[in-house]
Each structure stands twice: as structure tokens, then as C-alpha cells.
């Protein structure tokens, strides 16, 4: 029986030099890459669907934010104008004294 922990690594002999067939690691790497590519291809439609759903939700949130900005424009536009006028007065006042 294989002991728990690092003992199974010695049993598989994947990380030992000399005792493993030289091509075995390469074969295992290629096999795992092909397996990973197959899983990625199988999950591609799900990934694309989730990406499209997230893009639609993001576009909806942007539209909602713009709608709120337009509705609240009577509040923030005058505040922005007042802030700009105050900033302009303060800036011209500093130049006159300096």
C-alpha cells in the first residue's frame, strides 16, 4: 500500500533521476497538456456564455449609472459650477498677492 504524504512521489518515480524512463516525463507532460486542452475546449462555450452575461450586466450597470447621473444633474451641475467659480477666484487671488 502507498503511504500518505511524499511516499507516493517515490512510488511513481516521476521526480527521481535515473530510475525513471527518460521519455516517461515527456510523455506525461504532453498527455497532461492535451488533456488540459480538451478540458479547455469543453468549457469554452460555458466560458463564452458567462463572459457575455457579465458584459451585459456591466453594460446595464453603466447605463444605470449614467441614468442616475442624468437624473441628479440638477444637483451636481450647480455644485460643480460653484466649485469651479470658487477655485477660479482663489487662484486669481493668489496670483495678485504673489
The DSSP line for 22-59 is HHHHHHHHHHHHHHHHHHHHHHHHHHHHHHHHHHHHHH
Q: Please state the domain count of the chain.
A: 1
**Would residue 81 count as lying in a domain?**
yes
Note the pLDDT tens digit of each residue in 38-96: 999 999 999 999 999 999 999 999 999 999 999 998 988 999 999 999 999 988 877 65
Note the pLDDT tens digit of each residue in 8-37: 555 555 555 555 555 667 788 888 889 999
**Would residue 1 count as lying in a domain?**
no
**Radius of gyration of the chain from its Cα atoms, rounded to whole angstroms:** 32
41, three cell numbers: 475546449
**Would residue 2 count as lying in a domain?**
no
Question: CB under 8 Å to 76, separation ≥6 — which residues?
Answer: 69
- Its domain, for residue 60, covers 7-97
Question: CB under 8 Å to 14, separation ≥6 — which residues?
Answer: 20, 24, 25, 28
**Would residue 90 count as lying in a domain?**
yes
Amino acid at each position: 500500500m502507498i503511504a500518505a504524504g511524499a511516499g507516493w512521489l517515490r512510488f511513481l518515480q516521476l521526480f527521481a533521476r535515473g530510475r525513471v524512463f527518460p521519455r516517461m516525463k515527456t510523455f506525461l507532460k504532453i498527455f497532461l497538456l492535451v488533456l488540459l486542452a480538451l478540458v479547455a475546449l469543453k468549457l469554452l462555450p460555458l466560458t463564452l456564455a458567462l463572459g457575455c452575461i457579465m458584459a451585459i450586466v456591466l453594460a446595464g450597470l453603466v447605463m444605470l449609472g449614467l441614468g442616475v447621473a442624468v437624473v441628479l444633474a440638477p444637483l451636481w451641475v450647480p455644485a460643480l459650477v460653484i466649485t469651479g467659480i470658487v477655485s477660479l477666484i482663489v487662484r486669481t487671488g493668489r496670483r495678485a498677492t504673489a
